[in-house]
Structure 1
Amino acid sequence: MGEHKHVNLHVSKFEAPAKLKTLCFALIAIGLLTFVVGLMKNQERLWTSYLVAFFFFSAMALSGLFWVAINNTAKAGWSVTVRRFAEATSSFIPGILIGGLILLAGFKYLFPWANPEVIAHNPVIAAKTAYLNTGFFVVRLFIFAIGCLIFRWVIVGNSLKQDQTGDAHLTEKNVGPAVGFIAFFALAFSFFSVDLLMSLLPTWYSTIFGIYTFAGMFQAGMAFLSIVIVLMKKHGYVKGYVTDEHQHDVVKYLKGFSIFWAYIAFSQFMLMWYANIPEETEYYIMRAQGGWLGISALLVIFRFVVPFLALLPRGAKRSDSTVLAISTIVLIFQYVDIYWMVYPNFFDGHVTFGFWEIGIFAGFAGIFLLTIMAFWAKHSLVPLKDPRIHEAINHHVAY
């Protein structure tokens, strides 16, 4: 490390604070209790809240792997020292398979097309049964979950293997699987979001729904990564390896995808409103009535306007307090966005939020944080034997 003049380099071993571990177990207990009570008392609320939380954390896990894949594909050196944080997020990917299997138990409460009576009385839904049927849905869910698991096993596996062997070829070896994952993900994540969210209103359709959910997923993923970077720096875990320069570039992703999300959201809305075709506009009419109109407006403000303006100055991207505040807002409104896609289809369009939603979300959050902390505790926080690490250590943002 002699060539890195004036840089004090140090990686600490991560040990999860006892209080944080206890909190995670408490959250999981709350989630399990809510789930069990929900099964007995209120299945409809249980499964809607489960779907929102399941999609939220699945998207968080996938954004980590996607970010690792694009950096491998681009052969990016600057991001090497941040990569382990994103790899850790992908530890939750097995939860997509397990959580997806549990979701199948609430099938008939969520998806109208799973009900033969609904199909019999609605020719529009009946015309879609070649795609919207239980067997094919399960197959698609399995392909997606197992495909993501395999790609994670290869890509993250090679990264961790390099820690042991120091084999520089493993960096090159990861380019192929990374390209493969991006191609697989582009198609499969669209199916995943169409199946779980769009098909809740089977008479409606949007050709860019997958891109809309992807934009939100990646924006939220970058918000989470930004929070992790700030906290890891603050607590001195990765001295010299992760700096304001890395934070600056990750926050640029966050800001960029705030704009991209708004662009896709507007494109979807404007074209449907302009065409004024009943089966297209019904989606937005449902979200423009009662309390939903206010939530629709808040989404635009807090997913786009606030992050866009707050993160414009160069200094804001390097300010820990600004980055933590904006990232937290983005994560909250990623949840609100998924909730906004799910809930107007149920409960006669009334805005409904309370014990069930909070309890189920708490359970997922506890599992998500535990899997990430277990990954960090087991592996080095920085891939020290990556041949491009010098690029990351000497990284400077010019703009």
Structure 2
Amino acid sequence: MAHSYHEKTLPADLSAPAFVHGWRRRALAVGAVFSVLGIILGFLAGDGWNHFLRAWLMGFMICFGFCCGGMALLMTQYLSGGKWGLLIRRPLEAMTRTLPLVFLYFLPVGIFGVSLKQLYLWARYPDAAAALKDHLINAEQAHAIIWKKPMLNPTSFWIVMLFCFASWALYTFLLNKWSLQRDADSAPNVPYWQVKFENLSGFGVVLYSLTLTAIAIYCVMSLDVTWYSTVYGLQFLVGQAYGVLALVILTLIGLSKAQPIKTIMRTTEQHDLGKLCLAFTMLNIYLAFAAFLIIWSGNSPEEIPWYLDRIRGDWGVIATLDFVFHWLLPFTLLLSRDLKRIKSRLAVVCCIMIFARCWDMWWLIEPNFKDAARNLHFSIGILEYIAVPGALISFWTAFYSWQLTTRPLVATNDPHVAEILEPEHAHA
């Protein structure tokens, strides 16, 4: 048994390596290509612009998940502690600072009289009784619109959205500001900063859970006005952590090719992050399957149409692949101890997980519409689900990459710095 006791110290320069600017340039180039493709598809396909708007909603929800999911995971780390948090803290902070771009992504979704009416029946037919009389909606839809009108109306939609974004902006500001102040503290008062971040994050996690549920209901669940689910917000919360973890691990693997992450990213912490991915993979599938099992066993005519829309008309193939991408592949691969400790293999699993989040969001959104429910068919317009989210995610990635370069990548006044610089024991 051989041991290595080489002492490590943090490098003098803690800024992001120069190749991060290359990530940003490549992301901008890819975003430009997808943008042109999305516009061309909008003109070529008869239903192209309808799919363009639906695909924009999908891209917004994915980028929102990375941004605000990063904030939720950051607060969770402050509450739980652990030296693995030192690795992911600055990438998560960079994710939170993309909130202005995510808000710009939201605006086309919430435009009065255009996007809202195109996407949501409750906005298109505020007088549900008249719409039912004209055979524009069915009786179940009319009943749901009438009873949910105090919540599902454009005014309430905008009030809730503005409140959510304002609360997230406040938390983003405080988390990032205090992080820099903590590093600038000449005599680091560990208990003071620990209590301060815990107090902020404790209420913040609760507030985010509530506001995320509101966003999930307004932006996705209400696409089918008759659908309701008490676990919907929690599924989104876990799904966001699932995607954010995959992205932050990919970021760290890329950054570990150079200093300063090369020094502090030990195999031990990498393995811990891989185990955390496995935990969220299991929790993700547990929630999804439990919701399906309860509704299937109940066999209620009010609940099963939502699933029937997503498993009939060849949608069953998409649902099966969603199961494969979202759970089967990550779960089986992450069971391997060696895989979690080899960067290249772990990166492949993380890519699968991010792709699975996009696939799942498509499966959640597209079957809500009359032309797609129980009727999966290929059209030029449906390619918008590749082009538009591809553009939005690429531009978000470029902004995220830029944010990584604006601050040091290591929080120097963290009490775990000394521990994470300790040499690992290499076993032969």
Contact 2:249 2:273 (C-alpha < 8 Å) held by counterparts: yes
Determine helix, strand or coil for the equivalent of 2:372.
helix
Aligned ranges 1:163-178 → 2 under 5 Å: 163-166=183-186, 167-168=188-189, 169-178=192-201
User: 1:112 corresponds to which residue?
Assistant: 121
For structure 2, list consecutive stretches of 5 or more residues without a partner in the other structure: 133-141
Q: Report the AA paired with residue 286 of structure 1.
A: D
C-alpha distance in 1 between matches for 2:198 and 2:103: 25
Partner of 1:130: 150
Match of 1:387 in 2: 415
Tell me: CA distance 1:113–1:86, structure 2 relative to 1, closer, same or farther (3 Å): same
Q: Which SS does the other structure have where 1:239 is aligned?
A: helix
Q: Measured at CA, do residues 98 and 226 of structure 1 come closer, stay the same or move farther in structure 2, by a change above 3 Å?
A: same
How large is the Cα RMSD of the aligned pairs?
Answer: 2.4
8 Å CA contact retained: 1:39, 1:46: yes
Pick which of 120-129 and 178-187 moved more. Answer: 120-129
Residues 1:83 and 2:89 aligned together: yes
Residue 338 of structure 1 is matched in structure 2 by 361
Instruction: Report the CA distance between 1:223 and its aligned residue.
Output: 0.8
Matched, 1:13 2:6: no
Distance in structure 1 (CA, Å) of the matches to 2:20 and 2:197? 33
TM-fit CA distance, 1:199: 0.5
The one-letter code sitting in structure 1 at the alignment partner of 2:388 is I
Larger radius of gyration: 2
Task: Kindly indicate whether residue 239 of structure 2 is the aligned counterpart of residue 216 of structure 1.
Answer: yes
Of all paired residues, the percent bearing the same amino acid is 21
- Give SS of 1:13's match: coil
Q: Structure 1 CA distance, aligned partners of 2:278 and 2:39?
A: 40
Counterpart position of 2:30: 27
Equivalent residue letter for 1:348: A
Equivalent positions of 1:1-399 (< 5 A) are 6-7=7-8, 9-10=10-11, 12-14=14-16, 15-17=18-20, 19-30=22-33, 32-33=35-36, 42-105=48-111, 106-116=115-125, 119-120=128-129, 121=132, 122-166=142-186, 167-168=188-189, 169-346=192-369, 347-349=371-373, 350-351=375-376, 352=378, 354-394=382-422
TM-score if structure 1 supplies the norm length? 0.91
* 2: CA distance, partners of 1:175 / 1:51: 34
Structure 1 residue matching 2:303: 3-state secondary structure: helix
* Distance of aligned partners of 1:154 and 1:372 in 2 relative to their CA distance in 1, 3 Å threshold: same
8 Å contact kept, 2:122–2:225: yes
Distance 1:329 1:96, change over 3 A: same
Identify if the C-alpha distance between structure 1 residues 116 and 164 changes in structure 2 by more than 3 Å, giving closer, same or farther: same
In structure 1, distance between residues paired with 2:176 and 2:419: 20
- State which drifts further: 119-128 or 257-266: 119-128
SS of 1:278's partner is coil
For residues 297 and 71 of structure 2, the distance between their equivalents in structure 1, rounded to whole angstroms, comes to 37
What is the deviation of 1:321? Answer: 2.1
Greater RCO, 1 or 2 (C-alpha within 8 Å, sep 6+): 2
- Please state whether the residue corresponding to 2:50 is helix, strand or coil: helix
Q: SS of the counterpart of 1:348? A: coil
State how far apart, in whole Å, the 2-side matches of 1:49 and 1:269 are: 25
Letter in 1 for 2:372: D
Give the count of matched residue pairs: 394
| Secondary structure of 2:97's aligned partner | helix
Distance 1:172 1:392 in 2: 22
Alpha-carbon displacement from aligned partner over 1:311-365 (angstroms, at most 9, x marks no partner): 1122221111221111111100100111100001123334357542222123212
- Letter paired with 1:111: Y
Alignment deviations for residues 118-150 of structure 1 (CA, whole Å, 9 cap, x no partner)? 722212321111111111111111111111111
Q: CA separation in 2, counterparts of 1:174 and 1:373? A: 25
Q: CA deviation at 1:58?
A: 0.5
Q: Give the distance between the partners of 1:373 and 1:9, measured in 2 at CA.
A: 22
TM-score (norm 2): 0.85
Which has a greater percent of helix?
Answer: 1
SS in 1 for 2:182: helix
Deviations 1:279-336 (A, max 9, x none): 2000100111122101111111221121111111222211112211111111001001
Deviates more, 1:8-17 or 1:236-245: 8-17
TM-superposed deviation, 1:272: 0.8
Mark the runs of 5 or more structure 1 residues left unpaired by the alignment.
none
Distance change >3 Å, CA 246–CA 281, structure 1 → 2:
same
